[in-house]
Structure 1
Amino acid sequence: MTSLRPWREIAVPHEDVLKGTFQQAEFAADLSRVHAGTASPEYGDPVLFFKRTYITEGMRLLLDSVMKRITGAGGDPVIQLQTAFGGGKTHTMLAVYHLARGTVPAGDLQGIPPILDAAGVIDLPKARVVVIDGTKLSPNMPDGRGSINVHTMWGDLAWQLGGEEAYERIREADESGTSPGKETLADLLATYAPCVILMDELVAYIRQFDENKTLTGGTYDSNISFMQALTEAMKAVPNAVLLASLPESDQEAGSRRGVAALRTLEHYFARVQALWKPVAAEEAFEIVRRRLFSEITNTATVEAAGRAFADLYITSGAEFPRETQESRYYQRLVNAYPIHPEVFDRLYEDWSSLDNFQRTRGVLKLMAKVIHRLWKDGNNDLLIMPGSLPLYDGNTRNEAIYYLPPGWDPVVERDIDGDRAETTEIESRDTRFGSVQACRRVARTVFLGSAPGTPNRMVQGIEQERILLGSVQPGQQTSVFRDALNRLADRLYYLNGANNRYWFDTRPNLRREMEERKRRFDEKEDVIPAIAEGVKKAVAKGHFDGIHIFTASGDIPDDSALRLLVLPPHAHYGKREVQMATVCATEHLKKRGDQPRHRQNRLIFLAADADNTRLLIDHVRSMLAWESIVTDYKNNRIVLDNLMARNAETNLDTARRTVARTIRETYRWLLVPVQEIVGGRVSTEFRWEDYVINPSAEKPIEEIERVLKENEALITEWAPIHLSSLLKRWFWKDGVAEMQA
């Protein structure tokens, strides 16, 4: 552990991440702004763009096809980019844009030379690049280009290809809003080839046209006809290529008309297109690392960190998910550095299913805020893990819960992270947890892994093994984090658990109901009788003729029977100046009600520990509260779903076991009255001797008898010679040879 270095010493974030000056718009690659020359350098500068861009397998194949196409050596004429919201469509178009324009030699662009070699392209010609952005075009507002007003997509296409000269070829079609034929388009493309046409947000533009209504941009049907003609024309021009992005889901398509436009475009594209899906989940590691961090050159340290985590998972195999036992998980750790693969898995598998979470863009935006806060706060974790997420930070918390349904803010503030969170309170009281932030790390991990799936997931929550995966670092004990999870399951209001799975929910769990019910129970009328019942179960008769639990002195016989008196909780014992137990025991010893007690040596007392008494009372209140919830459910006085009902039963069983254990831990003081021998005579006064019994003993009554016998406070049999010696010492002396009992 000492030889390993924290992530912040190896991976330095980019300047904008360090300063927290990033904006969502900077993560959203804007093709139009790049084309207009107004984009930030990371997108507008080809060299910087490719330096921060990881070329995925899908992007490599796409660029290979585009290179071949614009050199007339094959390749696909039409490529549709259809993937989930934020899946890298526009980013892929930007890669094609910079490569095709040729403002910088292709050999100077990081990652491009190997693709050129594989494609067999020696000299990549400069191509004319047309950018049509559906969110920038207005269907009823012509766009002035010099002395010409461009009305339609096809007018814009012609103008970008060859200015006024090209526009004149389709002026009539543009001004009338009718689509040019595929032959006209093919001739236009051939004249200005090699050319690349990039069409982004196409559905966003076409869905604005109402049926049977003509705008300056044409009609719905004329725009659909244009797309059909254009895709057909591309096949006739061997060095022209069209890339178009379509949304993957109906929700992203927007309105009913948007969905209809998507279906129609999918139909026409399907006739000629090659379908590409640029970003695979495993490739997200490098995409995020390049965008958020400067180049990492210390590979030896990265590999050492990966090996330390991999060794931890293999050494404690049963504690972690099965995939961590495979050798390839080590490679995942290295590839994802300085972010733990579990962060990516949860964000890409779970959070990407949320509405409006834009996969790669959403991950970048959230992680940029996470990294900024961790860097600013001096975080020294070996990797950025689910348990590292700084949900105490307002910006990070707001970014995370933005994608979730309403109601998550109080969950995070009360149960998960922050100065007022229950996790922080527990850690401040228990240094075993606080030294490694075990409670907060566990809670953050559960949040990341369960929040997106609540309440619609078929199987809710994440397993304990995955919680440990997101929390534990090399050199730390998994048992500490397991204990922290158990403590949280017992204390938090919004944390639920069942079948080794845990999850947060915006609905308070039954614990809040239990806590409210605890206040209903009166200590004298409800709690003390429940403790008495628990003590009765724990203590059987044994050698005692009678066991009296919280019994008034007047109800305890004054006879020769050996009796164990269990004192009530308020008569507790400890190493303090005033002992309530000895005061109470003395009253019982000296009197039977209002009368003096004669056979005082027949009483032994069992007292509660002063430090445990309040805890015992609290545990009993909890047990009574759970009993009332289960009883009300069975009597149809409250409504619970099946899972909550099972949880209530489980919590009741746990509470009963806790009370039984706490009774043994609390009632551990034996008090025995002892008379001193002064000048050969027995003093009329007495003192108290205390003995501690082992609370873990299987049978408490046998442990009580063992302790009393070992200390000769209880003698069940005497050897004749020993008995004779004592009789001679105290009774058969001064000429007395016999006595009556």
Structure 2
Amino acid sequence: MSLKPWTEIARPHKDVLHGTFKQSEFAADISQVAKGTAPEEYQNAEKFFSRTYITEGMRLLLVSVAQRLAGNGGDPVVQLQTAFGGGKTHTMLAVYHLASRQVPASDLQGIPDLLDEAGVQSLPTAKIAVIDGIALAPSQESVKKDGQKVTTLWAEIAWQLLGDEGLEMVRASDEQGTSPGKDLLVDLLTRAAPCVVLIDELVAFLRQFELGKSYRAGTFDSNLTFFQALTEAMKAVPNAILLASLPESELEAGGHMGQLALNSLEKYFARVESVWKPVGSSEAFEIVRRRLFEDAGARAEVEGIARQFSDFYRQHADKFPVETQSNEYFERLCSSYPIHPEIFDRLYEDWSTLDKFQRTRGVLQYMAIVIHRLWESGNRDALIMPGSLPLADANVRNKSIHYLPQGWEPVIEKEVDGPRSVPADIDSHTLFGSVQAARRAARTIFLGSAPSTQDQMIRGIQTERILLGCVQPGQTIGVFEDVLKRLRDRLHYLYADQDRLWLDTKPNLRREMETRKQNISTRDELMPLLKERVNRAFGKNHHFAGIHVFTEHGDIPDDYGSGPRLVVLRPGAGFSRSESNQAYGEAEKILRNRGDQPRQKQNRLIFLAPDFDVVNRLKEQGRIYLAWRSIVSDIEDGNLNQDLSHLKQAKRNRDGAEQSLAQLIRETWKWLIAPVEDFVKGRPELNWEVVSVPPTAPNLIQSIEEKLREEEWLVYEWSPIHLRKVLNDWYLKNGVTEVSAPKVWRDTCHYLYLPRLVNDQVFKNAISQGTETEDYFGFAAGKEGDRYLGFSFGKGSIVALDESSVLIEREAAASYAEKLRQEQDQHSLGAHESGGSGYTVDLPTQKTEPVRVPPGGDTSAGQSTVAGIAKTHFYGTAELDPVKAKMDFATIMDEVVQQFTAQLGVDVTISVEIEAKKRDGFDESLQRTIKENCNVLKFTTSEFDED
């Protein structure tokens, strides 16, 4: 079943629907009904009962009245005593219409069943006297028809019951201002019986007297005596009944005289009274619904909506109050439809504690305004909930704060509801705005907390009740939980203590925070904080040679490094999907320059840019955190005079702001940018490739590296086939058959059109794997003349990237390998075969060079010895070409020194002699440099002298 809005199921009464009702009409006036001048809904008995829900207390009272008037028992005196709006006057009107019999009982809704319960077949028409204490004054007289004058309360009752006859019976007492005796009143009531005396606001009349002072209406004491006699007389007449309403509180009684009158009347009424049961909270549902709604909807539709709400509460039992899990709550949802029970609970339990708030009457007045405004605006809520209250409307807002202390209007306008309120601003976020999460939550908090005061031990409304008041089935509860955090962060008049929130007219520490936030220095405070928090987000385990956060281009090294460098751009260099953005400009500046010099190793840089749309939020959150941190520090140091509760609040806000800052940092730096170059018309053209890093990933640096691997912006493993393609595309063409291996590696670090390798080991591994077969290329540790040293082709070898190492084009390597095979057949002392079809050979340039001897092997194949004489010492010297000394020295190490070090028990000592001459002498700068380097390299001697 779909969740239909209440406006499609229920229909308010016309006066509510069209806004033509008057608030005063909700205050029933029994004297107007007696005079025939009341509104139709009160004056007409049939309409009155059609809109009246007969509560349990009213049912018992009407049954007793019917029995009394029929002479079948019943209570002679009933005291109606409850708080404002408790239904006293409404109950009196029900008795009036029942006793007057202006409309047949069969036409009065609910009355036939009551008469059956009372056992009354035919209810007689009764004479009725109606006294409104507010309309009478002790010093005034009332002129009746034929010039009859009435001054006392007993004369007024006598005249209303029996006219001239009754007035004549009490004339003497009326003229003297003294109470008639009990017997006279019994005689009067007997003649008028069956009769009903209805007295409303009795204390309001009596409190006008002053002790010891005589008025036209008698004295205070004579009036109290009259009521004592009247209650006794009622008991003596079997078909006469008295109903009087008394206030419940001292406030309603009004002053010293009012309280004195109330205390005295309670003693007299207590002797003969019957206790009247006031309206219960559960019965208020039906009272309000009957009065405000012409049709509350078909039972099946109402139950369908209630069932969806009830099931929703049970599915998320941990999010809502315990009572929502019972079937009784389902019945409450049905009986209160289209108004959510939570509205009644808050109004009857919280708002009814306010002075002058009239329970049923106040609720009727309030909800009539709310329903009219919601109907006019086309409200689409399934139920009228606390979160539905249109507090932005002036009429609803004024009625909401009518019973509250001064100062609530700006709080509602700024922090609860309204076009310029903070919740409205929060709802502008798509996630919240679709369900008006912030406004609904703020309205619910207002309804549930505004009546509370600072004197209460426990203030506020629990989170589970806030959710109950604003979330509808089908909506995501987490959205509303999230928006509550936003409200706590931004509202100045919202307080929080654990899971309770409340609004107050006094600002919380947020106002102090806002002031401090404005004074935060961007350069000295905010930027260092962001830099430190961004650095913290990366951790330490990564493949980058360095992570440079907000670093000037001159301070970012231009080297090959152990890995690429990740450059985190500053907040001002935000990235957006627009054609131009600040990130590209900042990144290119760093890419092309290192200080005043051009950057060489451009292909070693990767950039992480902030999201342009989030940067402002990030800066704002950073300032908020710094402000809260300073407040906590000042409170703890005694520089800010606040109590312990405010310190706890400040710490919670600081911690919450820090958590939000950490999340925003992840949401901000999410754009990974790699520079690439494509050749257009033979010239390289700079382009940028961009991909986003998930802000929710648990490990930022790991997520970045995974993206770099996915996009192949960073090569962790390089296949030989890709290396061969690079060689063929850029180096081994136009007759070139070899290229320096270190040059290729360095070029991958320099040029943006070449692959970006993690480090040189990836390059070495690709060479090593490529030389395992004859499919890709050859490799040599060096070259001497037309001979390759350390030649590898078809069998992998350990690769050392020194300046002499070369990569050889495949066909050239194959030709050279074939040449080696031919020489091997011709020279028995040549390089030995390494097995298979692959070769790793060091060929001597002259026949006199020694051959390599396997470790521990026999030397007789290469040298002859003198029999019987053991050679225990070797000493050799060689002169090296200074141009290719590095390569020559490597050959000596492999061919000579290694032969010794591979033998057990051989001690090897190597010394290097360097002699340099210059005819016109060495300058001082060169001498100083050479000496410093020799000292660092720990030369034994290093001197310059004259020939």
Pair in the same fold by TM > 0.5 = yes
In structure 1, the residue matched to 2:659 is 657
Do the aligned residues in 2 keep the contact of 1:416 with 1:443 (CA within 8 Å)? yes
In structure 2, the residue matched to 1:388 is 388
State the shift of 1:377 in Å: 2.0
In structure 2, the residue matched to 1:468 is 467
Q: 1:181 to 1:693 in 2, by over 3 A?
A: same
Q: 1:149 to 1:625 in 2, by over 3 A?
A: same
In structure 1, the residue matched to 2:299 is 299
Aligned with 1:452: secondary structure?
coil
In structure 2, the residue matched to 1:630 is 632
AA matched with 2:758 = I
State the shift of 1:248 in Å: 0.5
State the shift of 1:180 in Å: 1.8
In structure 2, the residue matched to 1:31 is 30
Question: In the TM superposition, what are the counterparts of 1:144-159 in structure 2 within 5 Å?
Answer: 144-145=143-144, 146-159=146-159
Do the aligned residues in 2 keep the contact of 1:472 with 1:478 (CA within 8 Å)? yes
Aligned with 2:451: secondary structure?
helix
- 1:296-319 Cα offsets, whole Å, 9 max, x none, are 462222222222222222222222
State the shift of 1:270 in Å: 1.4
Structure 2 Cα separation of the partners of residues 44 and 678 of structure 1: 94
1:204 aligns with 2:204: yes
State the shift of 1:580 in Å: 4.0
1:723 aligns with 2:733: no
Aligned with 2:143: secondary structure?
strand
Structure 2 Cα separation of the partners of residues 541 and 48 of structure 1: 80
Structure 1 Cα separation of the partners of residues 705 and 393 of structure 2: 58
In structure 2, the residue matched to 1:668 is 670
- After the TM superposition, which of the residue ranges 221-230 and 52-61 deviates more from structure 2? 221-230
The two structures, once aligned, show a CA RMSD in angstroms of 2.9
TM-score, normalised by the number of residues in structure 2: 0.73
Aligned with 1:618: secondary structure?
helix
State the shift of 1:515 in Å: 2.6
Do the aligned residues in 2 keep the contact of 1:82 with 1:246 (CA within 8 Å)? yes
Aligned with 1:661: secondary structure?
helix
Do the aligned residues in 2 keep the contact of 1:92 with 1:278 (CA within 8 Å)? no
Q: 1:89 to 1:731 in 2, by over 3 A?
A: farther
Q: 1:244 to 1:560 in 2, by over 3 A?
A: same
In structure 1, the residue matched to 2:747 is none
AA matched with 2:273 = Q
State the shift of 1:728 in Å: 6.0
Do the aligned residues in 1 keep the contact of 2:152 with 2:177 (CA within 8 Å)? yes
Question: In the TM superposition, what are the counterparts of 1:107-122 in structure 2 within 5 Å?
Answer: 107-122=106-121
Question: In the TM superposition, what are the counterparts of 1:88-127 in structure 2 within 5 Å?
Answer: 88-127=87-126
Give the paired residue count.
Answer: 737
| Structure 1: unaligned runs, 5 residues or longer | none
Structure 2 Cα separation of the partners of residues 422 and 678 of structure 1: 53
Do the aligned residues in 2 keep the contact of 1:391 with 1:444 (CA within 8 Å)? yes
Structure 2 Cα separation of the partners of residues 587 and 364 of structure 1: 70
- 1:687-708 Cα offsets, whole Å, 9 max, x none, are 6655644433433334444555
Do the aligned residues in 2 keep the contact of 1:708 with 1:714 (CA within 8 Å)? no
Aligned with 1:198: secondary structure?
strand
Q: 1:114 to 1:410 in 2, by over 3 A?
A: same
Structure number with the bigger relative contact order (C-alpha 8 A, sep ≥ 6) is 1
1:215 aligns with 2:193: no
Q: 1:582 to 1:151 in 2, by over 3 A?
A: closer
In structure 2, the residue matched to 1:45 is 44
Do the aligned residues in 2 keep the contact of 1:130 with 1:157 (CA within 8 Å)? yes
Aligned with 2:475: secondary structure?
coil
Do the aligned residues in 2 keep the contact of 1:705 with 1:714 (CA within 8 Å)? no
Structure 2 Cα separation of the partners of residues 204 and 65 of structure 1: 27
Structure 2 Cα separation of the partners of residues 382 and 599 of structure 1: 65
Structure 1 Cα separation of the partners of residues 680 and 109 of structure 2: 100
Question: In the TM superposition, what are the counterparts of 1:371-450 in structure 2 within 5 Å?
Answer: 371-430=371-430, 432-450=431-449
Aligned with 1:199: secondary structure?
strand
Question: In the TM superposition, what are the counterparts of 1:150-549 in structure 2 within 5 Å?
Answer: 150-296=150-296, 298-430=298-430, 432-542=431-541, 543-544=543-544, 546-549=546-549
Do the aligned residues in 1 keep the contact of 2:11 with 2:297 (CA within 8 Å)? no
AA matched with 2:471 = V
Structure 2 Cα separation of the partners of residues 736 and 74 of structure 1: 135
Aligned with 1:496: secondary structure?
strand
AA matched with 1:387 = G
1:594 aligns with 2:596: yes
Q: Which has the larger radius of gyration?
A: 2
Do the aligned residues in 1 keep the contact of 2:66 with 2:118 (CA within 8 Å)? yes
State the shift of 1:669 in Å: 4.0
Do the aligned residues in 1 keep the contact of 2:12 with 2:295 (CA within 8 Å)? no
In structure 2, the residue matched to 1:699 is 699
Structure 2 Cα separation of the partners of residues 604 and 324 of structure 1: 56
Aligned with 1:197: secondary structure?
strand
- 1:671-695 Cα offsets, whole Å, 9 max, x none, are 556677999x9x9997665564443
Q: 1:327 to 1:526 in 2, by over 3 A?
A: same
- After the TM superposition, which of the residue ranges 502-511 and 707-716 deviates more from structure 2? 707-716
In structure 2, the residue matched to 1:64 is 63
Aligned with 2:381: secondary structure?
coil
State the shift of 1:649 in Å: 0.8
Aligned with 1:85: secondary structure?
coil
AA matched with 1:225 = T
| Structure 2: unaligned runs, 5 residues or longer | 716-755, 772-776, 790-801, 805-947
Aligned with 1:612: secondary structure?
helix
AA matched with 1:256 = H
In structure 2, the residue matched to 1:567 is 569
Aligned with 1:503: secondary structure?
strand
AA matched with 1:116 = L
Q: 1:125 to 1:686 in 2, by over 3 A?
A: closer
Aligned with 1:79: secondary structure?
strand
Structure 1 Cα separation of the partners of residues 63 and 340 of structure 2: 32
AA matched with 1:417 = D
State the shift of 1:604 in Å: 4.8
Do the aligned residues in 2 keep the contact of 1:77 with 1:273 (CA within 8 Å)? yes
Identity of aligned residues (%): 55
- After the TM superposition, which of the residue ranges 201-210 and 401-410 deviates more from structure 2? 401-410
State the shift of 1:334 in Å: 1.4
In structure 2, the residue matched to 1:640 is 642
Do the aligned residues in 1 keep the contact of 2:195 with 2:241 (CA within 8 Å)? yes
TM-score, normalised by the number of residues in structure 1: 0.92
